[in-house]
Structure 1
Amino acid sequence: MYILRWKDNPSMPKGLVYEGVQTEPTEYSGTTAAQSSVLQCIDELLGVKHEEKSRAFLTCMKSYMPPAHRKLIQDISVQPSLRDFVQQQANEYLNKAFDVCVSKLLAFRSYHINVVSHFITVPAARARQLCKNSQDSEGEIVSRAPTSREERGTGGSGIMTFLKTVRDKTKDVFLPQTSK
């Protein structure tokens, strides 16, 4: 299993050749939660509408899913969302239950941002600073890796912008509060 990407990776502009298997370079995105059919199913079910750039990245990541998973997401996407159904019922208990589901997804996405910050963004900034302070030739070689990883996640997205945008679009599906 690969973690880092070699699609659109400045360190490997032509991709990666698997010697003894193929002669042409291959490009793959690294592992990312966006490849999870579970999260994309939940988004479709709840009616989360992502911005164009985020939606394009999520669509690209579907190519890494099993075909049956992609089909399930597609089947859910062509139906009315659970949000639409709940709104039509005009039931306060159902509205609250729906909003609890949205809040759990929102909490997961906020937690994910914290994990990425802790394990990717902060270490990349530290590595960049160490390399900046290093004057030897080894530091010059190492300095290229953090620079290429700094603004990109393992899947190749602009990591923090993408994660925050996805989280913020999740907030948009909370049901409007009715006043009595």
Structure 2
Amino acid sequence: MLIAAIAYYLFSNVLHLTGYNLEQAEELIIIHQNTGLQVNQLLFVGILIASLGATMDMSMSITSSLYEMKRIHPQLTGKQIFVSGMKIGSDMIGTMCETLILAFVGSAVTALLVLISYGTQLQQLLSSDYIAIELLHSITGSVAVILVVPITAILTALFTTKLNWKQRSKQQS
């Protein structure tokens, strides 16, 4: 999630996006005046929550698969578990990134149709804050999903081999 936060920071600066680019910016400014709510942080929080859901799903799927492999084949080494985790994860990366992008596009369809019905030119539409925010969602989520695979594979390999060592030590005692 830290890397997703860094990706958000970099891409939001490149795309010149803040929470004030959100559809509800006017309402949020009024809330800010009454409560002190930090509007510029809402976009960040929303994107990280979306990324968190995807990364949790990926990490749990990889971890449970690897743990089950280790349970059935206790002789597997940490390296074998890591390589298997990378293979399992690489299969999942494409579908999860696609799911994230389709979810963001799906949530934008109605707004895009409204903008197109008003005669918004394609170039203007593509350079709008609305598209930039959806692009930021997709990029940040995809970076998080891609990076969760090696991190999860390494941690699971370490924990399952350490767990196996502890179980052997207890059995020998």
Q: TM-score range by the shorter chain?
A: 0.3 to 0.5
Higher helix share: 2
Q: Could you say which structure has the larger radius of gyration? A: 2
User: TM (normalized to structure 1)?
Assistant: 0.38
User: Higher relative CO (CA 8 A, sep ≥ 6), structure 1 or 2?
Assistant: 2
User: TM (normalized to structure 2)?
Assistant: 0.39
